[in-house]
Amino acid sequence: MRSVIYVLTTLCVIGLAFWAYRENYATQAVLNQTDQLHIETRNAHARLAILRAEWAYLNRPDRLRDLAELNFERLQLLPLHPDQFGQTDEVQYPVAPLLPITNPVDVSTMNSENDL
């Protein structure tokens, strides 16, 4: 009986060692993937910062003004002035349409029936 218990215990230890071995490698693989994702995220942030800087550089007012002057014949763009903009209270918003009446009630017939 003791030998059966020893064999079962040994098999359990071997099974647990195999499980721990597999879990260790699975954990290392996930950690490597996480590190790779961190690197990709960092690179994406760096690319985004570069693109924002390029966008700001290309949208400089003096550069855009020069481009508008160079292409005036083709684009007919005029410079903006503060007096070209209106106030928010000058905006005419559309009037909301009235809801349709689906079941009209004739008030004159109702009053004459109640008087009787």
**CA 18 to mean position of chain CA atoms:** 44
Mean of pLDDT values over 23-28: 96
Residues with Cβ within 8 Å of 68's Cβ and at least 6 positions away in sequence, in order, are 75, 77, 79
Residue 44 is encoded by which pair of tokens?
A: 């994406």
Query: What pLDDT, in 10s, does the model give residues 2-21?
Result: 899 999 999 999 999 999 99
CA distance 48 to 52: 6
Query: What pLDDT, in 10s, does the model give residues 68-109?
Result: 888 888 988 887 788 888 888 888 888 888 888 888 887 776
